[in-house]
Each structure stands twice: as structure tokens, then as C-alpha cells.
């Protein structure tokens, strides 16, 4: 299969064309807002397409190590299988968090929170600079 | 409202019915407005033999385009109460409850000639003193007696029951989503472990943010968009304002502004410093957004399930992720301070008990 230009390049390119060429031709305010939202979504998708499978695996490794739970592997590297597996890994983390709070174990809570910090940092790489286009 | 081209005629006919004394009612302009994600908004200029009015219509979108479900009847009745109590919000004028006249359930309010706050601030307008005016605005409607509010607004049994339910909403939201959300479960555990000092429950705006504020010529705020109003902890409105302001500045409750805001609010409400202070506002920065977070995640989940195809549902999930990036470090910084406030409140309660 042809892999270049990459999915990331294409999505960033589509976003740029919408922003620089299409938007200028649009007069409807609601459609301008929609284009602004699509622009941000496309840029986030470019980041996801590049990294999400790797990020989910990296997170799963750490969750497994910190919770002491064997989390296994996805059925394949097709995205749907990875997402299904990642959901199960996330449940392991959620259960550990609930247990730590129920036990009042503040050290354990802090340890688990560090995993969430990593997850959130990856999410923010996808979101980029948040602009609530159309509000106000 | 679903077909803007039909609206001048439909609106003119509806207003002529509502105001039989108006002769030759004509809608000279009907303009779809942006600014709200959840309801259809439009501005209409209406002329008749004796004058001209500028009105705003707020109506339900088509069923397949509804981002969040709220009740126009409740919003309409609440606006009547707010108007009666002199709260600074545009007056409610007309209500098409069935949608038979305007094509959808819609209410009509006065157009506000005040400036939208966000464009004012983005244009370099002075923010001096506006943190205290924000306290004035909040204290004004928080003071409305609960008995005066529309009956259909749910009355929580007690502050404790309310807070427990609100914290559980984080867990319920996580449970209902299309994938596991460990950050939501962490926030629920953290909120539960650091409960603030109680205050009496009041009317809450529910979407108290810069985008729903107008700045009048006398420097006071007018408030818009009451569709998410409920009865709850008034500090949720403060925390919610701050949460949104961190995404869409200016943040009038930043380090410099929050102390004076709290002092002014305490002066107006009679609450103590243990009840209203910048740290407690930051606690509610997290707790106060749960309703919105739930609705946004529901929209995203519906998109994932294929039951709605609204790009706005996907877009607004970015706000949830941004929120998470704020809640996590905030919880870490606030935990120890909230624990000391709780200890001080417990000591004060003990001392009061002994003196009695």
C-alpha cells in the first residue's frame, strides 16, 4: 500500500484547505462555526492517527506494572481490536482507583494518579490549543 | 424556527395573536444567531403601527439535532420568576409551548442592548471591578427563596444528599459512557474525600459563564440562558465560571480577582470565610462542571453509537479532555488545603458546641 503522504499529512492538509480556501467563500455564520470545529477535529485526528495505537500500548504497560495485573494483548493491531483491549485495561485502572479511595490509601491514590496524568497529557496533544469556536 | 425563511410570516402571525392591540405587525428582519450550541437562536425586528421591538427567539432544534435535552416550559417559568425578582436578565415576553405557531417549542425574550461580555473583554475592555460585579450578579439570583421557584425544579432533600448525588454523577457518567473513564472515577473519589463546608442550597444558573453574560452601561452584568438552572450548591456557579474562563478567558476569578470576589459574595450572602474562599471555589471548579461533562459525553457517546451525527458532539468532547487536564493538577494542589479548612471548620463547630 502507498503510505506517503501519511494520514497525518493529509488530515492537516485538508484542515488547512478548509481554513484557508473554503472558509473565505462561506457567508453563513453557523457554517463558519462548523468549519472552525471541523478544523480543530481534523488536526486532532492527525495526531491520533500518528500515535494512538502506540500510546494505548505504552499506557497499558504502565497500568499493568503499577496495578500488578496481567493485561495481555489486543487480538490484532487493527484499531477496533486495540480499542476494545484498551477499554479492558482502563477498567483495571478504574477498579484500582476505586479500591485505593475506599481504603483511604493516599500513597496508592497518588501512584495511580500519575498514570492518569500521562493519559491526560496524551489527550492534550490531540486536543492542541482549545478554541471554543462559536461561543460568545 | 427550523425553516428560517418561513419565520417572518409565522412570527408576525403569532405576535398578532399574542398582542391583539398591535396593528399591521411585520417582521422586518429575522436573523439566525450563533452563540449557543444547544438551542436555536434568532433575533427578530418587529414593527407595528405603534412601535418597533427587537426580540430574541430560543427554540428547540429538530429531534435529530438536539445536543442536550432541556425543558422550555421550566425555562419560561423561571424567567418569569427572575423578572419578578428584578434579576438582570432580559424579560420573557411570549411562549409557544406546543410549537404549533413557531414550528418548534420556543420562547421569546427581549433583545438585550448590552454588550456581550466576551467580545468586550477580547476587545480590550476594562475588567477592573468586574470580579465584584460578578459576585453581585451571582448573589442576586442565589438569594431568591427556593419556595418562589417553579415547582418542576427538583428540590434536593439536604445539602449532604445533594453533594453525594452530585459526586455520584461522576461515577454514573463514567459507567454510562461507551468506554471506561478512569479519570472520572478518580475525580469522584477525590471529591468525596475532600467535601467542603456546607451552605444552604439555592437556585443555580447551571451554565454561568462569560458567554452567557452581557455588560450593561452601568457596569453590571446581565445574565442569559437559564435552560440548565436547578437547585443546588451556589458555589457550583462560581467554580463553573472559573472552569470555563480557563478555556475562554478572561478569568475574573484568577488569583488576583478571586479573593475580592469571595469577600464581596460573603458580604452579600452572609456566608463565612470557611464556606466561600478561593480554595472552595476551586473545589467547585471540578464538581460544578459534572452536569455539563455528562451532557457532552452523552453527545459523544451517541455519535460513537451512530445515534446522532452532530459534529458539535465530537467537537465539545475536546472541552472534557481540556477539563481533565485542569482537574488533575488542581486536585493535587488543593487536597491538603481543603483538609485544613475542614479541620478548622470542625474545630470551630466544636468550640461553638462547648460555648453553648
Partner B, chain A 54-73, Cβ-Cβ below 8 Å:
none
Contact flag A34-B332 (C-beta cutoff 8 Å): no
Q: Cα dihedral sign for B5, B1, B316, B279? A: positive
Count of the separate structural domains present in chain B: 2
Burial class of residue B38 in the structure, from the number of CB atoms within 10 Å of its CB (0-12 exposed, 13-18 middle, 19+ buried) = buried
Q: Residues B191, B331: one domain?
A: yes
Going by the DSSP 8-state scheme, the letter that residue B117 receives in this structure is H
B79 with B226: CB under 8 angstroms?
Answer: yes
Q: Which residues of chain A have pLDDT under 50?
A: none
Q: Residues B73, B149: one domain?
A: no
Rounded Cα distance, B163 and B225, in Å: 24
Containing structural domain, residue B183:
115-355
Contact flag B328-A94 (C-beta cutoff 8 Å): no
Longest CA pairwise span in chain A (Å): 59
Q: Is B208 on the interface with A (CB under 8 A)?
A: no
Q: Got the DSSP string for A8-34? A: HHHHHHHHHHIIIIIGGG---HHHHHH
Q: Residues B95, B198: one domain?
A: no
**pTM reported for the whole predicted model:** 0.86
The CATH number of whichever domain residue B20 belongs to comes to: 3.30.200.20
- DSSP E strand stretches across chain A: none
Q: Residues B303, B160: one domain?
A: yes
Average pLDDT of the segment spanning B181-189: 98
Rounded Cα distance, A108 and B326, in Å: 21
Which carries the bigger pLDDT value, residue B60 or residue B14?
A: B14
Q: Residues B224, B99: one domain?
A: no
Q: Residues B48, B181: one domain?
A: no
Q: Is A91 on the interface with B (CB under 8 A)?
A: yes
Q: Residues B184, B301: one domain?
A: yes
Rounded Cα distance, B85 and B347, in Å: 38
Q: Residues B282, B154: one domain?
A: yes
Neighbour count for residue B276 (Cβ, 10 Å): 23
Q: Residues B153, B239: one domain?
A: yes
B156 with B164: CB under 8 angstroms?
Answer: no
Q: What is the pLDDT of residues B223-272, one digit of tens each?
A: 999 999 999 999 999 999 999 998 889 999 999 999 999 999 999 999 99
Rounded Cα distance, B21 and B268, in Å: 43
Of B35, B311, B321, the CB nearest to A135: B35
In A, minimum Cα distance to B121 occurs at: A136
The CATH number of whichever domain residue B311 belongs to comes to: 3.90.1200.10
Predicted confidence band at B356 (pLDDT cuts at 50, 70, 90)? low
Rounded Cα distance, B47 and B8, in Å: 11
Q: Residues B185, B71: one domain?
A: no
Q: Find the Cα–Cα–Cα–Cα dihedral B338, B340, B345, B347, rounded to 10°.
A: 160
- In this prediction, does ipTM exceed 0.90? yes
The residues spanned by each domain of chain A are 7-127
Residues A76-113 as b or e (16 or more Cβ within 10 Å = b): eeeeeebeebbeebbebbbebbbebbeeeeeebbeebb
Interface-testing mutation among A35, A94, A104, with chain B (most B C-beta atoms within 10 A)? A94
Residues making up chain A, counted from first to last? 136
Given B110, B145, B171, which residue is the final one in a domain?
B110
Q: Is A31 on the interface with B (CB under 8 A)?
A: no
Q: Residues B292, B191: one domain?
A: yes
Q: Residues B210, B67: one domain?
A: no
Phi/psi for B210 (5° steps) reads -55, -35
Which carries the bigger pLDDT value, residue A135 or residue B18?
A: B18
Given B110, B141, B171, which residue is the final one in a domain?
B110
Given B110, B128, B144, which residue is the final one in a domain?
B110
Amino acid at each position: 500500500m502507498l503510505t506517503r503522504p501519511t494520514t497525518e499529512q493529509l488530515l492537516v492538509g485538508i484542515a488547512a484547505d478548509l481554513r484557508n480556501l473554503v472558509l473565505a467563500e462561506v457567508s453563513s455564520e453557523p457554517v463558519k462555526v462548523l468549519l472552525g470545529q471541523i478544523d480543530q477535529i481534523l488536526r486532532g485526528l492527525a495526531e491520533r492517527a500518528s500515535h494512538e495505537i502506540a500510546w494505548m500500548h505504552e499506557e497499558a504497560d504502565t497500568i499493568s506494572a503499577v496495578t500488578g495485573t496481567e493485561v495481555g494483548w489486543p487480538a490484532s493491531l487493527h484499531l477496533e481490536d486495540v480499542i476494545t483491549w484498551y477499554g479492558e485495561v482502563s477498567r483495571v485502572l478504574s477498579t484500582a482507583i476505586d479500591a485505593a479511595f475506599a481504603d483511604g490509601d493516599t500513597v496508592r491514590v497518588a501512584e495511580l494518579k500519575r498514570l492518569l496524568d500521562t493519559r491526560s497529557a496524551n489527550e492534550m496533544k490531540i486536543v492542541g490549543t482549545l478554541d471554543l469556536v462559536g461561543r460568545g | 424556527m427550523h425553516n428560517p425563511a418561513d419565520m417572518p410570516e409565522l412570527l408576525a402571525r403569532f405576535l398578532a395573536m399574542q398582542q391583539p392591540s398591535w396593528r399591521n405587525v411585520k417582521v422586518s428582519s429575522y436573523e439566525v444567531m450563533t452563540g449557543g450550541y444547544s438551542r436555536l437562536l434568532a433575533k427578530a425586528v418587529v414593527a407595528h403601527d405603534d412601535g418597533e421591538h427587537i426580540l430574541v427567539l430560543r427554540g428547540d432544534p429538530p429531534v435529530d439535532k438536539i445536543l442536550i435535552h432541556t425543558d422550555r416550559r421550566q425555562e419560561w417559568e423561571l424567567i418569569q420568576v427572575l423578572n419578578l425578582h428584578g434579576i438582570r436578565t432580559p424579560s420573557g415576553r411570549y411562549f409557544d409551548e406546543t410549537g404549533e405557531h413557531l414550528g418548534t417549542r420556543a420562547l421569546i425574550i427581549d433583545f438585550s442592548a448590552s454588550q456581550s461580555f466576551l467580545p468586550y473583554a477580547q476587545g480590550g475592555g476594562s475588567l477592573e471591578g468586574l470580579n465584584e460585579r460578578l459576585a453581585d450578579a451571582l448573589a442576586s439570583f442565589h438569594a431568591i427563596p427556593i419556595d418562589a421557584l417553579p415547582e418542576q425544579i427538583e428540590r434536593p432533600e439536604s445539602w449532604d444528599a445533594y453533594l453525594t448525588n452530585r459526586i455520584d454523577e461522576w461515577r454514573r457518567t463514567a459507567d454510562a459512557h461507551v468506554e471506561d473513564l478512569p479519570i472520572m472515577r478518580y475525580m469522584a473519589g477525590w471529591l468525596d474525600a475532600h467535601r467542603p463546608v456546607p451552605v444552604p442550597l439555592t437556585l443555580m444558573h447551571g451554565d454561568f459563564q462569560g458567554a452567557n453574560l452581557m455588560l450593561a452601561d452601568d457596569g453590571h452584568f446581565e445574565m442569559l440562558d437559564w435552560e440548565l438552572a436547578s437547585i443546588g450548591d451556589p458555589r457550583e456557579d462560581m467554580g463553573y465560571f472559573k472552569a470555563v474562563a480557563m478555556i475562554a478567558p478572561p478569568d475574573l476569578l484568577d488569583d488576583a480577582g478571586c479573593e475580592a470576589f469571595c469577600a464581596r459574595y460573603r458580604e452579600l450572602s452572609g456566608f463565612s470565610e470557611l464556606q466561600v474562599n478561593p480554595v472552595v471555589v476551586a473545589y467547585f471548579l471540578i464538581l460544578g462542571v459534572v452536569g455539563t461533562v455528562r451532557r457532552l459525553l452523552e453527545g459523544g457517546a451517541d455519535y460513537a453509537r451512530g445515534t446522532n451525527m452532530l459534529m458539535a458532539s465530537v467537537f465539545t468532547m475536546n472541552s472534557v479532555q481540556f477539563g481533565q487536564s485542569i482537574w488533575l493538577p488542581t486536585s493535587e494542589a488543593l487536597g491538603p488545603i481543603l483538609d485544613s479548612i475542614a479541620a478548622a471548620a470542625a474545630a470551630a463547630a466544636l468550640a461553638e458546641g462547648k460555648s453553648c
